[in-house]
A = this chain, B = another copy of it.
Amino acid sequence: MKAADLVEPYPTVRLDTPVSAAARLLTEHHRPALVVVDAHDHPVAIMPASKVLRFVVPGYLQDDPALARVLDDDFAETAYAELDTKSVADLLPKERPRLLVARPEDNLLEIACLMVAENAPLVAVVDGRGKQAPMIGAITVAQVLAGILPRSG
């Protein structure tokens, strides 16, 4: 089984995508992470949903969760207003290592190793080598586990 057999289309965001629009993508179809691409559609970062939520929740609430108890849903929605003014670039750490990506000819274990190395719930698959190779889709942890487990129960 190769990456080419497993890869499925996956929506991407760019560095200038508003965080609000990116967060909305995650709420659809229970997507596990954002895939951030550059102007060539080459993936540059994978941002798990839990890290996006970390960005959304104000830091002073993370430091003092008891405060959250007295704040209502209207306040929660004010968090959203700020998200409209921030972009995906603000979500990413300033220094980030180059993202490892899969290629269509990679096999199941190579994909599994990559996923473990990136500690990500999915890997991006690109068509070809080089820094401008465009993304053709993604493979999730669930798909890799399903490939490793035998068909029968």
Contact = CB atoms under 8 A, between A and B. Distances in A.
Given A26-B141, A113-B57, A140-B30, A149 B20 contact: yes
Q: How many copies does the complex hold?
A: 2
Contact of A145 (B52, B71, B113, B114): B52
Nearest to A77: B150
A146 interface: yes
B109 A71 contact: yes
Contacts of A112: 53, 56-57, 61, 68, 76
Contacts of A113: 57, 61-62, 65, 68
Contacts of A144: 53
A49 interface: yes
A112 B56 CA distance: 9
A39 interface: no
A107 B53 contact: no
Interface stretch (A9-17, A89-97, A117-125, A127-135): A117-125
A53 B108 contact: no
B62 A26 contact: no
Interface in A9-55: 20, 23-24, 26-28, 30-32, 48-50, 52-54
Contacts of A69: 106-107, 110
A24 B65 contact: no
